Copies of this chain bind each other. A is one copy, B any other.
């Protein structure tokens, strides 16, 4: 994700301090922050950054396909910078921790033609839910 900023500039993005900071916060492969968490971490480096700017920047990154939106629980959406390699998510039903996982096979193949009701299906997302080792101990 270190060359993200170059890729964005190539696409005509105006490179502002705010956007740089948001991109830096999302740097790292196994991170699944909410918009507010991104905002808090961005504000550590750039205290006056506005919530709206974080929301705007995240939406742009999602539209550009650089970041994935993940909503596992009907609460705040989370943002996943690991958009290059398709993967699924494993969520702890107690503490909410999220891990990237890689199931075998293609989930799309499991849906027979007569179960597609004429939809042009583009993707399948799988969410595994269970209790993580940490929460299991207590």
Binding site for B on A (CB under 8 A): 69, 71, 73-74, 77, 90, 92-93, 99, 101-105, 107-108, 110-112, 115-133, 136
- A102-B110 Cα distance, complex, nearest whole Å: 9
Q: How many copies does the complex hold?
A: 2
- A129-B71 Cα distance, complex, nearest whole Å: 14
Given the complex, which residues of B lie within 8 Å of A136, measured CB to CB?
118, 120
11 residue pairs bridging A and B, Cβ less than 8 Å apart: A71-B73, A92-B119, A99-B117, A101-B115, A110-B126, A121-B129, A121-B130, A122-B129, A124-B126, A124-B127, A124-B128
Contact (Cβ within 8 A) B117 A90: yes
CB distance from A109 to the nearest CB of B (A): 9
